[in-house]
Amino acid sequence: MKTKTIIVIATTALLTIFLMVNREAVDFDFIIVDNVPISKLVVIGVCIVIGFILGFLVGRPKKTLTSYDTEIEKGYNSPDNKSSLSDEDRDYIS
């Protein structure tokens, strides 16, 4: 097994044990309603899910387009452009 797989399994097991130990009800204050009894299991579980979603959205790789790709599409690097150079420019480049 790979190290990453073992870490994911161990973390999942520890989170499951942590959630099962904290099942008792606590008073939770919402913005509108005060002192609603909710299980710690639900509160912690919702926080873990929200944290996972936010971490996934922030940590995902962004799509990047390089300027080199657009140069190829526009034909800047084509051999036809070399013929439009002057002799002085060709000597400077080579």
The model's pTM is 0.47
pLDDT score recorded for residue 74: 60
Alpha-helical runs (H) found in the chain: 3-21, 40-59, 67-74, 80-83, 87-93
Average pLDDT over the chain, rounded to an integer: 78
Per-residue pLDDT tens over the stretch 52-93: 899 888 887 777 656 555 555 565 555 555 567 778 887 888
Q: Would you give the end-to-end CA distance of the chain in angstroms?
A: 54
The share of the chain scoring above pLDDT 70, in percent, equals: 78
Q: Give the pLDDT confidence score for residue 76 in this predicted structure.
A: 54
- Please tell me what DSSP assigns to residue 62: P
- Cα Rg for the chain, rounded, in angstroms? 29
